[in-house]
C-alpha cells in the first residue's frame, strides 16, 4: 500500500515541479539557450571540417529530425520539469563545453 501512495506522491511532485516554470526563469532560459548555442557551434564546426567526437551526437548529425528533437524538445522538457536552481550544474557544464568549442574553432 505504501508503494502505491509513493507513486502518487511522485506523480504529484512531477506536476508540482512543472509549476515552477515561472520561477527561476533565467536559469531555465539559460539552460535552453546554451543548448541552442551548442547546436549552432556544432553545425559551424561541421561546416569547417571538424569531426564530432561524441558518438551519439555524431550519429544524430545524420538524422536531422532526431537531432532537432534531442537539441530542442528535450532541453525545453527538462527546463519545464526541473526546478531552475537544479539546472546550475548543467549550465556550468554547458558553459565549459561551449568555451572548449569556441577555443577549438578560434585555434589556428
Each residue of 33-66: pLDDT tens digit?
999 999 999 999 999 999 988 899 999 999 999 9
Average pLDDT over residues 4-8: 55
pTM: 0.74
Number of folded domains in the chain?
1
Sort 4 into a burial class: Cβ within 10 Å, 0-12 / 13-18 / 19+.
exposed
Q: Go through 74-105 and write b for each residue having 16 or more CB atoms within 10 A of its CB, e for each that does not.
A: ebeebbeebebeebeebbeebeeebeebeeee
- Per the structure, the complete domain to which residue 66 belongs is given by 2-106
State whether the Cα torsion 92-93-96-101 is positive or negative: negative
| 5 or 108: which leads in pLDDT | 108
> Which pLDDT band holds residue 101 (cuts at 50, 70, 90)?
very high
Amino acid at each position: 500500500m505504501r508503494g502505491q501512495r509513493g507513486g502518487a506522491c511522485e506523480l504529484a511532485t512531477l506536476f508540482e515541479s512543472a509549476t515552477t516554470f515561472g520561477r527561476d526563469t533565467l536559469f531555465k532560459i539559460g539552460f535552453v539557450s546554451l543548448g541552442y548555442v551548442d547546436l549552432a557551434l556544432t553545425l559551424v564546426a561541421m561546416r569547417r571540417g571538424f569531426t564530432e567526437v561524441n558518438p551519439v551526437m555524431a550519429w544524430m548529425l545524420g538524422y536531422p529530425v532526431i537531432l532537432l528533437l534531442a537539441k530542442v524538445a528535450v532541453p525545453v522538457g527538462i527546463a519545464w520539469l526541473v526546478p531552475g536552481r537544479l539546472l546550475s550544474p548543467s549550465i556550468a557544464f554547458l558553459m565549459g563545453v561551449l568555451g572548449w568549442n569556441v577555443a577549438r574553432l578560434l585555434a589556428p
